Amino acid sequence: MSAEARSPVGSIAWFDLTVADAVAVRDFYAAVVGWRPAPVDQGGYDDFNMSPGPDGPPVAGICHARGEIAALPPQWLAYLVVADLEISIGRCRDLGGALVAGLIGAGPGERFCVIRDPAGAVVALIEQSAGPGPTSLTEEGAP
């Protein structure tokens, strides 16, 4: 997820997986799928961008469950692009969904949240034109 590669509203911008042991899971997907990992410095530890080959762009991330993302469920999350995160969160709640993880900065001009739909499925929403920093919302529990 980067400023250079903005995705249209309604599209899937990214996939990632947040787990306790990102190194082991990185190695699993490298062996099973053939992805090549690239470390992403998180200030004391690395998360990983995963690419399909030596010259391919990253297609997914594997992250340690630490800090603001510690409570995310250990499942592959799709990041769906929305125009306005607050409006989408409000609509989610109005239609019987819930906020799982509040607004989190994801990079320059990006922030995301994780929601649960009325059927219980979990997905991330990402706004790619956000201001300089994340705000916070109250979490309503994990899936």
Q: pLDDT at position 71, please?
A: 87
Domain ranges of the chain: 7-127
pLDDT string in tens for the chain (143-residue length): 444 467 899 899 999 999 999 999 999 999 999 999 999 999 999 999 999 987 889 999 999 999 888 988 899 999 999 999 999 999 999 999 999 988 877 777 789 999 999 999 999 999 987 444 443 343 444 33
CATH topology of domain 7-127: 2,3-Dihydroxybiphenyl 1,2-Dioxygenase; domain 1 (3.10.180)
C-alpha 77/C-alpha 75 separation (Å) is 6
Instruction: Mention every residue, 6+ apart, whose C-beta is less than 8 A from residue 95.
Output: 118
Residue labelled with tokens 């470390």:
39
- The count of residues in the chain is 143
Give the number of C-alpha atoms closer than 13 A to the C-alpha of residue 82, restricted to the C-beta side: 21
Return the bridge partners of 15, or none: 78
C-alpha 15/C-alpha 11 separation (Å) is 12
Strands 46-51 and 36-41: antiparallel
Q: pLDDT at position 5, please?
A: 62
Q: pLDDT at position 55, please?
A: 83
C-alpha 17/C-alpha 9 separation (Å) is 22
